[in-house]
Structure 1
Amino acid sequence: MCKDVQYPIIYVRGYAMTKSEVNETTADPFCGFNIGSTVYRAATDRSKKARKFIFESPVVRLMTDFGYKDVFEDGMDIMDEGWSGAFPQRSIVVYRYYEQASDLLGQGETPDISVFAKGLSDLVLRVKDLVCANPANNTSADKFRCYLVAHSMGGLVCRAFLQNPAFGSDTARACVDKVFTYATPHNGIDMGGLNVPDWLTMFGMDTFSRENMAKYLNVEQYASVDPNGRVDWLPDLGGAGWKFSVDRFFCMIGTNRGDYDVAMGLSRTFSGHGGDGLVKIENASVWRPAEGGNEAVPSPRAYAYRSHSGYFGIVNSEESYQNLIRFLFGDVRIDVWANVDDVRLPAKVAQAAGNKPVNANYLFETSIAPRGKLWSLTRRKAEEDSAACRNYAALAGADPTAKSIYLSSVFLGMQWRVNPNSSSLAYSLSLCVRVPEYEINNRLWLDDHYEGGALFQDTLVVEAFLDSSGKSVTHIDYAWRSTGQSGHYVVPQDQPNDVLVLAVPFGNNHTPGINGVLRCFISEWNV
């Protein structure tokens, strides 16, 4: 189904605060993307020890799994004068933008993000020239594309390059096929509930001030769209001969603050719950702004129980790597939403409330895993502060937008099938709606409350079958594991191939209870 093309990957690393961190970064040929992890995985047999799990690093895995190569030659990289190697299309390029800020290789002074963004534009054009100059790549300037993969502040460098016409050229922007970010503070960094102020210039920390971000990201015009000053807007971009959409921008979001040890744990303390120890979940993704009467559209995103960096960091994790390769090279995209039709209070709560206001937050948990794997592509749990949340007033109200909850996006591919002879792609989707704490007139109601209970909890198994060409979905089978309730959806022959909507009811007739429809928007990817 997908094009048999893997474009060059340009890695853009994250923020280095101190001078020693800058120097360590420039001393590393791959700026940290070569760092893997060795962790333990719980054993199923209690008599056995936990199982060791090794992830070799994204750089090594791309080399072993897909034949990518680095571009260092005789101690030089492609931006050094005198480099003259043959550049393969499947190449890994590291944007070494901190060199100019290091004591060893630069002037020791860190420029602002606009300089980094312009440098990225120059690097993209350099890669383009080298790819097109190699006859073995069989490509031309009008067909050249590349991927940008960035961690933390590196994602802001990518956005500044793409969104601000003052930073670089449209020719370079037209070369970007997709962008993947790990733990990027797309809406800035908050500490102690406050955004980093624009006057905090020490170590360049004002880079994460929303006031400054609005300028270099060119989003000041969205103040009317979001009066709260959010800067995580990525509009449809375009110029002479190029277009770029939020649909091609993936955000990998970390949810484990506990294992982030920077500043002796102070960062995770002041960043608070609901994040990776530095970046809050709500600030780690981008949206297409709500314009012209249309609703805001989320970028594809997934959630992993990983910290911002360190031994349990988000970059050096199997979960993030699997999302990366499926987003870059996969065949099928699935966007998962839960639409709530009805929510019912406990009878005693409704009786005790009478005409008094009832407040309750409903937590939507989910995890999605492809068939035959030992990890999830996305995971959202209440205990990890990553569950999607809606309050009772929104779910019981009349606004359909408030009743529509985006859960996650996943990408699947024919090349990762457990059985290579199978013509189907399968995944499981676990959904849980947790019982909330009820407040009546701002006072907790604890009668008959059992912590950890759920209004609904089940796992949906979905299998999509493709035609003989492997290019179109012909039918979909699905079933809830606990009840066995199943369905069979045959795609009409005249159905447009852009998006299929698999609508599966969930819920029960209990009181308290919830009913709704789980919607999986399934579309071809990389066609």
Structure 2
Amino acid sequence: MQQAPFFPIIYVRGYAMTESERDETAADPFCGFNLGSTVYRASTDKREPAKKFVFESPLLRLGAEFGYGDVYENGLDIMDADWQPRRGNRGIPSRSVIVYRYYDGGSALLGSGRPMEIEDYARGLSDLVLRVRDLVVAQEQIRPEDFRCYLVAHSMGGLVVRALLQNPALGDAAARGAVDKVFTYATPHNGIEAAGLKLPAWLSVAEIDNFSHARMARYLNLEAVYRRHGRVDFVPEQAFPIDRFFCMVGTNRADYGVAMGLSRAFAGHGSDGLVKVDNASVWAVDRQLRISKTSPTAYCYRSHSGFFGIVNSEEAYQNLVRFLFGDVRVDIWMQVDAVRLPEALQAQADEVEALYQFELLARPRGKRWYLSRRTAEEDSPACRTHAQLTRQQASGGNLVYLSTAFLANRAKVSQQDRSLAYAMDLAVRVPDYQLRKRFWPDQHFEGSHLLRDGLLISLEPPLQPGGEWRILHSWESQHVGQATQALSYQALADGGLRLELPLPRSGLTPGLDGKVVLIVSAWR
């Protein structure tokens, strides 16, 4: 029978602009999901050499670590009429990776050489989900209504997935209902910008208009929402639960070499070389067209594709498998209770402008990579203006979302230790203050920090449902290398926990007061 959480993974690759790129895609059995890497950028300075780090590929790692296999047999895949299951099987096992080969028909090798509409790709994905369902049902002897699968997509593939989930006209309701979780790498959920401008709908060459707002609003069934909010990065609550939709965001534009670097030049800072950081995640929207909450999101210093690409990276892979198979979810927020200007500016506070940058590096114990990485140098911090913070402070809505981390028991350094531990490097910067629209240099150094410290967290789940958690923490400025202080928590109505950790250095001027807020919940 199908054993949760090891459901079939359907991979949906990204955009192939030219006929030759579609031919390359059609000629690759795994459409890039089999590509690994041996290099990574340890610094934002490209003049420094890359570091060696062997990542074998998502496909190999899923097979080696979780027992997943492919479904090709005798040179055919499951959508071919002559395909037959392997000897002794009725269908395919639940632990299968299936590649959605939607560009075969658009290649000159296997089709017409002309791409189809994104609506056609969404309908084809629906057919593939149902085909996988029938084969897994036959092999695992489960009821069709109990079948579940995961959709994992890169770039435009995430828009194909959303078109299926959000537009009832583009596929079968049974296919949509079978999707358990969605993971997207570097998907332009709010379209693609060139030199700060949204792509116009009339730019239709080579399917590029698939990334314009007007076109996206149609195939995503978001025209009313788009008219109200001017964005299309929304997943309606009735279409798919936002908590089960993970967005992996790249922040390295420098290593994206498509079009001899023109793409990264037009995408600009705060992008992966093609997709803006602010456009690479999704929000929930309710039936009254109101925005509610963001999807779980993590950030890594990776480009859209290439040698330093996001799909062939350890960081993204670790977020993928922890999201699919992990045990504990932690949403990381910072609550700002008070923000103080330098003393010389306090009397003129109404005329002061400042941009606060909230940084986070979330790292598991004993690893060389980050689960999430947001820094000012990589154009990926969470930003708030002084006016926003003071206005939110007055209204009580002063939470700043930083990231979501998923933790896995199988990834622990020691299986005898029941705790799940990780560290967070937290910082808040004020690059500059402006008084009456002019830079104010007094009592201030460029890039100074109001907060810079490390937070260690150790979570030990209860042995029995409903039991007590054991939670320890330490600020590294007070105790390096180990969480030692017990931390109380608030039990939430949905079974989760709310942890609040007051920030160090409170009361200083300039400075801020507040707390780190962690929402911890069991995950599966």
Short-chain TM bin: over 0.9
| Mapped partners of 2:191, 2:388: distance in 1 | 27
How far does the alpha carbon of each residue in 1:417-437 deviate from its partner, in whole angstroms, 9 at most, with x for none?
111011111111111001231
* Structure 1 match to 2:520: 522
Aligned partner (choices 292, 297, 302) of residue 293 of structure 2: 297
Quote the residue 1:254 is aligned against: 250
When the two chains are superposed, the root-mean-square deviation of aligned CA atoms in Å is: 2.1
What are the within-5 Å matches in structure 2 for residues 5-24 of structure 1? 5-24=5-24
The answer (yes or no) to whether the contact 2:432–2:447 under 8 Å persists in 1 is no
Per-residue CA deviation, residues 320-369 of structure 1 (Å, 9 max, x unaligned), is 00000000000111111111000111112335xx3651100000000111
Q: Deviations over 1:180-199 (max 9, x none)?
A: 00000000000011111111
| In structure 1, C-alpha distance between the alignment counterparts of 2:156 and 2:223, rounded to whole Å | 19
Asked if 1:342 is matched to 2:338, the reply is yes
Partner of 2:213: 210
What letter is aligned with 2:519? F
Counterpart residue identity of residue 463, structure 1: S
The answer to whether structure 1 residue 278 and structure 2 residue 278 are counterparts is no
Match of 1:417 in 2: 412
| Identity score, percent | 53
Q: Alpha-carbon deviation of 1:488?
A: 2.0
State how far apart, in whole Å, the 1-side matches of 2:374 and 2:295 are.
Answer: 17
Amino acid at match of 1:37: S
User: Whole-Å Cα distance in 1 between the matches of residues 313 and 295 of structure 2?
Assistant: 21
**Structure 1 residue 41: Cα displacement:** 7.3
With the length of structure 2 as denominator, give the TM-score of the two structures.
Answer: 0.93
CA distance in 2, matches of 1:60, 1:337: 34
Q: In structure 2, how many angstroms separate the alpha carbons of the residues matched to 1:271 and 1:41?
A: 20
3-state SS of the aligned residue for 1:393? helix
CA deviation after TM superposition for structure 1 residue 56, in Å: 0.4
Which deviates more, 441-450 or 110-119?
441-450
Q: Deviations over 1:428-452 (max 9, x none)?
A: 1111001231011111101232123
Give the corresponding residue for 2:389. Answer: 395
- Aligned mates of 1:293, 1:106 — CA distance in 2: 41
How many angstroms apart in 1 are the aligned matches of 2:110 and 2:50? 44
Question: For residue 111 of structure 1, what is the aligned residue in structure 2?
Answer: 116
The answer to whether the Cα contact below 8 Å between 2:216 and 2:232 also exists between their aligned partners in 1 is yes
Moved more, 457-466 or 382-391: 457-466
What does the per-residue CA deviation read over 1:105-164, in whole Å, with 9 as the maximum and x for residues that have no partner?
A: 011111110000000000000000000011xx2422121100000000000000000000
Q: Give unmatched runs, 5+ long, in structure 1.
A: 44-48, 239-243
Partner of 1:156: 159
Distance change (3 Å), C-alpha of 1:341 and 1:218: same
Report the CA distance between 1:70 and its aligned residue.
0.4
Q: How far did 1:236 drift? A: 1.2
Q: Please state if 1:371 is matched with 2:365.
A: yes
Q: Which residue of 2 aligns with 1:129?
A: 134
Aligned mate of 1:405, from 397, 400, 407: 400
Is the CA contact 2:199–2:211 (under 8 Å) kept in the aligned structure 1?
yes
User: Structure 1: which amino acid aligns with 2:487?
Assistant: Y
Once the two structures are overlaid, the 10-residue window that deviates more, 372-381 or 472-481, is: 472-481
Q: 1:189 to 1:50 in 2, by over 3 A?
A: closer
CA deviation after TM superposition for structure 1 residue 318, in Å: 0.1
Q: Point out where structure 2 has 5 or more consecutive residues left out of the alignment.
A: 44-48
The question of 1:462 aligning with 2:457 is answered: yes
SS in 2 for 1:83: coil
Deviations 1:456-514 (A, max 9, x none): 1111111111222488652211111102496423568x865621000111142211011
Letter in 2 for 1:377: L
The structure 2 residue matched to 1:477, chosen from 452, 457, 472, is: 472
Q: Tell me which residue corresponds to 1:237.
A: 238
Residue of structure 1 equivalent to 2:46: none
Q: Distance in 2 between matches of 1:423 and 1:497?
A: 23
| Alpha-carbon distance between aligned partners in 2 of 1:214 and 1:41, rounded to the nearest angstrom | 36
Structure 2 counterpart SS, 1:407: strand
DSSP 3-state at the match of 2:203: coil
Distance 1:128 1:266, change over 3 A: same
Which residue of structure 2 lines up, in the alignment, with residue 307 of structure 1? 303
1:324 to 320, 326, 329: 320
Q: Which residue of 1 aligns with 2:39?
A: 39
Give per-residue Cα distances to partners, 1:48-98, cap 9 Å, x unaligned. Answer: x98621000101110111010000000000000111113111000000000
State how far apart, in whole Å, the 2-side matches of 1:225 and 1:399 are.
Answer: 27
Quote the Cα distance in structure 2 between the aligned partners of 1:306 and 1:495: 36
Which residue matches 2:191? 188
Could you tell me how far apart the structure 2 residues matched to 1:331 and 1:199 are?
46
Distance 1:186 1:41 in 2: 26
Query: Would you say the 8 A contact 1:41–1:52 is kept in 2?
Result: no
Structure 2: distance between partners of 1:235 and 1:441: 42
SS of corresponding position for 1:128: helix
Q: Which residue of 2 aligns with 1:505?
A: 502
Residue of structure 2 in register with 1:94 after alignment: 99
Q: Contact 2:461–2:468 (CA<8 Å) still a contact in 1?
A: yes
- In 2, the alpha carbon distance for the partners of 1:291 and 1:458 equals 41
Q: Please, what TM-score do these two structures have when normalized by structure 1?
A: 0.92
SS of alignment partner, residue 142 of structure 1: helix
- Residue in 1 that maps onto 2:352: 358
Q: Distance in 1 between matches of 2:286 and 2:432?
A: 32
Q: Could you tell me whether the CA contact under 8 Å between 1:225 and 1:291 is conserved in 2?
A: no
**Distance change (3 Å), C-alpha of 1:291 and 1:380:** farther
**Is 1:179–2:174 an aligned residue pair?**
no
Is 1:440 the counterpart of 2:443? The answer is no
2:454 and 2:443 map into 1 onto residues whose CA distance is: 27
Return closer, same or farther for 1:409/1:400 CA change in 2, 3 Å cut-off. Answer: farther
- Specify the code of the residue in structure 1 equivalent to 2:382: A
How far is the alpha carbon of 1:416 from its aligned partner?
1.0
Partners of 2:118 and 2:291 lie apart in 1 by 31
Structure 2 distance, partners of 1:16, 1:295, is 32
| Superimposed CA distance per residue, residues 302-334 of structure 1 (whole angstroms, 9 cap, x where no aligned partner) | 000000000000000000000000000001111
**Number of matched residues?**
507
Distance 2:33 2:435 in 1: 51
Change in 2 beyond 3 A, CA 1:116/1:293: closer
* Structure 2 residue 487 is matched with structure 1 residue 489: yes
> Residue in 2 aligned with 1:46?
none
Indicate how the Cα distance of structure 1 residues 74 and 412 shifts in structure 2: closer, same or farther if over 3 A, else same: same
| Equivalent AA in structure 1 for residue 185 of structure 2 | Y
Distance 1:293 1:35, change over 3 A: closer
